Amino acid sequence: MKIGFIGLGIMGKPMVKNLLKAGHNVLAYDIVAANVKDVADAGATGAASVADVAKACGLIITMLPNGPQVKEVVLGAGGVLEHAASGTIVFDMSSIAPGVAQEVNAACAEKGVRMLDAPVSGGEPKAVDGTLSVMVGGDEAAFNEVREVIGAMAASVVHCGDIGAGSTTKLANQIIVALNIAAVSEALMLSTKAGVSPEKVFDAIKGGLAGSTVMNAKVPMILDGNFKPGFKVDLHIKDLANALETGHQVGSPLPFTAAAMEILQNLRADGFGQNDHSAVAKYYEKLTNSEIRR
């Protein structure tokens, strides 16, 4: 099966390269020509448009910034639905609101195109090494058809339920990650101000109940003052906006999520929107005029 891949950003490029390493034939497109050249140099075939991908591929993977871009690529003029054959699977790995996934799926169903919403967790490092966690919503039979392909990019691929379930699961993930980074930053600033080494605190607690994958990934970055993006503050703002919108729609209050959102918005206002979300530590550094460092 020829695999179409649309969206070759910080996540999409390494994901395509892992598909290529697994021996898959990939036709790739992005609005940035340099991104297409990058994956073409690695062995993919570059496409000139979304239409070219839709005409040629029975499986189309999308990895786009947000819901509006997914709607444009799939539903818009010259988009996937205008050119895809009946039976095509659209495997959307973007992080979008569940309601958008359901809206796009309804339009796909009218054309005989099958859609799965399948956002990922793990950021750039896990996209590079092919160990992403993928959470999938939609028809289970369609999921089973493509599961092996998706495994080339992931260590965990879980079918979570009907269409929108993948996106809902990702929102839950992003809430937990944001609050975890905030809690870690707050706690390490406490230790810093109290004169206790934040590195020693990390070493002491990481193996206990407070330990987490988030802590292990982000504390070394904070201690080094390294905020090179693996997952940008601006993208986490987008995800929490989708979480808050969804919470309002379904009647689920999200007070801690709202607080985390205000921290991220403060970082964006201070010019740190393109930093890694571990830059939440900078918010606490600003409040205390102190740095959390080794």
Amino acid at 49: S
What region does 153 belong to: left with phi over 0, alpha with psi -120 to 50, or beta? alpha
Q: Which of 13, 17, 170, 218 is flagged as catalytic?
A: 170
What is the Cα–Cα distance from 107 to 57, expressed in whole angstroms?
Answer: 19
Which residues are CB-contacts of 25 (< 8 A; sequence separation ≥ 6)? Answer: 1, 2, 3, 45
Residue 37 annotated as catalytic: no
Q: What DSSP assignment string belongs to 201-237? A: HHHHHTTSTT--HHHHHHHHHHHHT----SSBHHHHH
CA 260 to chain centre: 18
Q: Can you spell out the DSSP letters for 11-54?
A: THHHHHHHHHHTT-EEEEE-SSHHHHHHHHHTTPEE-SSHHHHH
Cα distances from 6 to residues 31, 73, 94, 144, in angstroms, run 9, 9, 10, 21
Q: Which residues are catalytic?
A: 170
